[in-house]
Amino acid sequence: MTTYIVRRMLQTFVVIILLSYVCFYLMTLMPGDPVELMIQSNPKITSADIERLRTLYGLDQPAYKRYANWVSSIVQGDLGYSRTYRVPVSELIGPKLVNTFVLSMSSLLLAILIAVPLGVLCALRAGSKLDYTVNFFAFAGISMPSFWLAIVLIIIFSVTLGWLPAGGTSTIGFEPTGILDGGLDRLKYLILPTLSLAYLSIGSFLRFVRASMMDAMRNDYIRTAKAKGLPRLAVVWKHGFRNALIPLITIIALSFSGVFSGAIITETVFAYQGVGKLVFDSITGNDFNVAMVSFVISVSMVLLMNLIADILYGVADPRISYK
Partner 1 sequence: MSQNILEVKNLSKFFPIKKGLFLRHVADVRAVDYVSFHVRQGETLGLVGESGCGKSTLGRTLIRLYEPTSGSIRFKGEDFLKVRGESLRKMRKDMQMIFQDPYASLDPRMTVGQILTQPFEIHNIMTPSERLERVKQLLETVGLKASHVNRYPHEFSGGQRQRISIARAIALNPSLVIADEPVSALDVSIQAQILNLMKDLQEKLKLTYVFISHDLSVIEHLCDRIAVMYLGKIVEIATRDELFSNPKHPYTQALISAIPRVGEGKKKMKKSLSGEVPSPINPPSGCHFHPRCAHKKDICSQKAPALESVTGNSEHRSACWLTTQGGL
Partner 2 sequence: MILPRPFDTHGHPFSEEAVLSDVVLKVKDLETTFFSKAGPFRAVNKISYEIRKGETLGIVGESGCGKSVTSFSLMRLIEKPGQITGGSAVLNGRDLLKLSEPEMQKVRGDEMAMIFQEPMTALNPVLTIGQQIDEQILMHKNVTPAEAKERSIEMLSLVGIPSPAERYTNYPHQLSGGMRQRAMIAMALSCNPTFLIADEPTTALDVTIQAQILELIQTLQEKLNMTVQFITHDLGVISEIADRTLVMYGGQFCEMGNTQEIFKNPLHPYTHALIGSRPRFGNRVQRLTTIEGSVPAPHEYPAGCPFTNRCSRATEQCRMQKPPVQELSPGHQVACFHPMGAR
Per CB under 8 A, the segment of 50-58, 59-67, 143-151, 218-226 that binds partner 2 is 218-226
**Pick from 84, 81, 87: which is nearest to 289 by CA?**
81
Q: Is position 246 an interface residue for partner 2 (rule: CB under 8 A)?
A: yes
DSSP letter, residue 322: -
Across-strand partners of 81?
A: 88
> Could you say which of partner 1, partner 2, none residue 6 binds, taking C-beta under 5 to 8 angstroms by partner kind?
partner 1
How many residues can be counted in the chain?
Answer: 323
Count of Cβ atoms closer than 10 Å to residue 227 Cβ = 8
Per CB under 8 A, the segment of 40-48, 151-159, 252-260, 310-318 that binds partner 2 is 310-318
Here the contacts of 311-314 (C-beta below 8 Å, separation 24 or greater) are 311/5, 312/249, 312/253, 313/246, 313/249, 314/1
Question: What Cα–Cα distance (Å) separates residue 251 from each residue in 195, 308, 310?
Answer: 20, 12, 12
Q: Is position 319 an interface residue for partner 2 (rule: CB under 8 A)?
A: yes
Q: Which is nearer to partner 1, 319 or 323 (CB)?
A: 323
Query: Which of 44, 129, 319, 323 touches partner 1 by CB under 8 A?
Result: 323
Query: Which of 243, 282, 294, 298 touches partner 2 by CB under 8 A?
Result: 243
**Pick from 257, 254, 280: which is nearest to 267 by CA?**
280
Q: Which is nearer to partner 2, 86 or 323 (CB)?
A: 323
Query: Which of 219, 250, 268, 306 touches partner 2 by CB under 8 A?
Result: 219
Q: Is position 14 an interface residue for partner 1 (rule: CB under 8 A)?
A: no
In the complex, least distance from residue 246 CB atom to partner 2, rounded to whole angstroms: 8
By CB under 8 A, name the binding residues for partner 1: 3, 6-7, 323
